Amino acid sequence: QSVAVDGDDTIRASPLMKPGKPTAYLEKDVTTLHEIFMRGVRESGNSPCLGHRPGAGQPYQWITYNEVLTKAQHFGSGLVHEGAKTQPEQFIGIFSQNRVEWKITEQACNSFSMVVVPLYDTLGPQSITHIMTQCEIQIIVVDTNVKTKNLLAAVKGGKFAVTLIITMETPDDEAKSFAESANVRLMTFEQVEEVGKNNLKEFVPPKPEDLHTICYTSGTTGLPKGVMLTHGNVVANISGVYAVGEKTFLGMSSSDVYISYLPLAHVFERLMAAQMYFLGARVGFFQGDIKLLLDDVGELKPTIFAMVPRLINKIYDTVWAGVAQSTIKRFLLEKALKSKLAKLERGIVTKNTIWDKIVFKKLQNRLGGKCRVMVTGAAPVSLEVINFMRAALGVNFTEGYGQTESSAALSVSVPGDFFSGSVGTPVVCNMIKLVDVPEKDYYAKEGKGEVCAKGPNIFVGYYKDPDKTKETLDEDGWLHTGDVGMWLPNGSLKIIDRKKNIFKLAQGEYIAPEKIEGILTQCPAVAQVYIHGESLKASLIVIAVPDPDAMVTWCNGKGVSGGYEELCNNTDVKKLVLEDMCALGRKRGLKSFELPKKIHLSPELFSVENELLTPTFKSRRPQLLHRYKAEIDEMYKDLD
């Protein structure tokens, strides 16, 4: 799945890549996101492009590629008439959920050489103020009155300056009053379109090296960093991913349909959507409520579906919880899964077996019934869970690995490699090398080390932050990811550790908490896990959030009854869950010092909203420590 570059086995690239020449684009006239969409206009034959549902129970309504292009020209012309410059120094903020207007705003920026700076709900006031101030945003497009009023209150409080807010929702009287007192102009999205229609401008297309977006990554600590991505960066990644499976397992075309619900503020979702626009395919937006997602999926019937591990794990847990009370159902599910996994071991992915008809059809239909390409990224997912999805859905579920700084993917898993636990082959736009991490005994000559990448998809730096840029991007242009990987015998890349997320216990043993958490979350009663240890303590402790759906059923099977919160506080239940965790840990090869000695069961899910998870669902370890400090101290009282 990879070959050595210039005879150096520590640097490897896709065998599909021309020697020493990472792919920057697939077609000479498609090198920017403006040209990506123009290609889609040609490929689509003016078929539907963007779809939305006006409300629950209603069918999707669509606008065509030509209509989107016209609206983008009108909206972009309106921005110019209202003072925006057609140059990469012009930043336009977007503070909105995924919807038609989001894409029209982005396309207007792409076609008039402006830069998109997305905000998202879960950033929090401090981070939003930081972004608005650092980027000196004067014009921002907002979806709701609530967000508009929050922004106006911040402007009035002197936190940052904005001159024009463009609202997708009709401003209410309170928003108008706020705007007047803050000396900010309010216009509706339709008004800007109408102004542009009456003052039409020709497109001012960007160059590949022009900035496309500043994508702020909300890390596990500190203020978010603004990742600067050019048009060339994003086009290279779209091209590099597509080239891996264009003629084989991806095989996408203008007839495909994609469900857009992961935040467009993040580069993973924008890469997926842009791939659709490149092909002239359809993108349908969810209604904005994640609880209604499967209803939207049932109506849209997507052929392409991107997921994050949180959703995948939820589906997995729900399926097993659904058969827990029926011996016959559980027997059939286990039998069906064993049969399909046996096929998977031979490289066969199918949804045409007898087991698909009698066991898995319901789940397949729940996800629209037409999915043929499914992708996951953003965070790790266990091999057991992703292979369950491959077997149950009869779809080659591709796992991507990368980061915002690489415009999304650095590698993707390929069909047939279902049991190595790898993240696959390098994408065709970048080379990957491993670098020694001596403090953890990882050495590149032994095929292990920090994952570094170089190619036209790698970001140009952090906005107004040269020090952090130098920490991440070395003088030779290699991106240092902070992840530790190894090359497997088949040439695929496997992520085995984090360079920094480690700590020592009192006896000197190194602990990699994320590795342990990834194993312990597979306990049937558990949804989330946070492992904690300290250098002055000899043992680990664990905060676990039981799965609200599975917990009661699991406890009933152990002879313990009660409500969810009651069970979380039950001493016997804590003991049972800890025993189950440790049994699983030993089975998966964890050493005795890697097993927790005490447990606290928390009924509150870690979430983006309570700031215990990042927007890509990674644990915020400092925040988790602060939140559970009292419980941690209590557990350590009579331990060690």
Ordered by start, the domain boundaries in the chain are 31-285, 503-638
Name the β-bridge partners of 622: none
Name the β-bridge partners of 425: 412
Averaged pLDDT in 10-residue chunks for the chain of 640 residues: 87 91 95 98 96 93 98 98 97 97 98 96 84 97 96 92 96 95 96 98 98 84 86 97 85 93 92 96 95 93 89 86 90 95 93 94 93 84 89 92 94 91 94 90 92 97 95 95 93 86 72 87 91 86 91 88 91 94 91 92 90 80 90 86
The three-state secondary structure class of 422 is coil
Within this chain, domains 31-285 and 503-638 share the same CATH topology: no
H-helix segments, 208-266: 231-245
**Which DSSP letter does residue 557 get?**
H
CA angle 297, 298, 299 (to 5 degrees): 90
User: What fold, for 503-638?
Assistant: GMP Synthetase; Chain A, domain 3 (3.30.300)
The Cα–Cα gap between 205 and 489 comes to 45
Q: Give residue 219's pLDDT.
A: 57
Q: Give residue 82's pLDDT.
A: 97
Q: Give residue 261's pLDDT.
A: 94
CATH architecture of 31-285: 3-Layer(aba) Sandwich (3.40)
Give the containing element (helix H, strand E) for 631.
helix 629-636
Q: Give residue 493's pLDDT.
A: 95
Non-local (6+) Cβ contacts of 628 within 8 A are: 530, 532, 543, 600, 602
The Cα–Cα gap between 144 and 132 comes to 18
Q: Give residue 439's pLDDT.
A: 75
Give the containing element (helix H, strand E) for 487.
strand 479-487
Q: Taking Cα atoms as reference points, which of 488, 545, 462 lies closest to residue 228?
A: 462
Tokens at residue 78, please? 């309106």
Q: Give residue 246's pLDDT.
A: 81
Q: Are 300 and 368 in contact (CB under 8 A)?
A: yes
Q: Give residue 245's pLDDT.
A: 83
Residue in the block written with tokens 């003629």 = 247
Q: Give residue 222's pLDDT.
A: 64
SS3 content of the chain, % helix, strand, coil (to 5): 40, 20, 40
Q: Give residue 497's pLDDT.
A: 80
DSSP 574-607: HHHHHHHHHHHHHHTT--GGGSEEEEEE-SSPP-
The number of beta carbons lying within 10 Å of the beta carbon of residue 176 is 14
The Cα–Cα gap between 299 and 297 comes to 5
The three-state secondary structure class of 484 is strand
The Cα–Cα gap between 360 and 364 comes to 6
Cα 501 to chain center, whole Å? 20
Name the β-bridge partners of 595: none
- How are strands ordered across the β-sheet holding 493-498? 3-5, 8-13, 431-435, 448-454, 479-487, 493-498
Q: Give residue 640's pLDDT.
A: 57
The Cα–Cα gap between 110 and 35 comes to 9
Q: Are 256 and 368 in contact (CB under 8 A)?
A: no
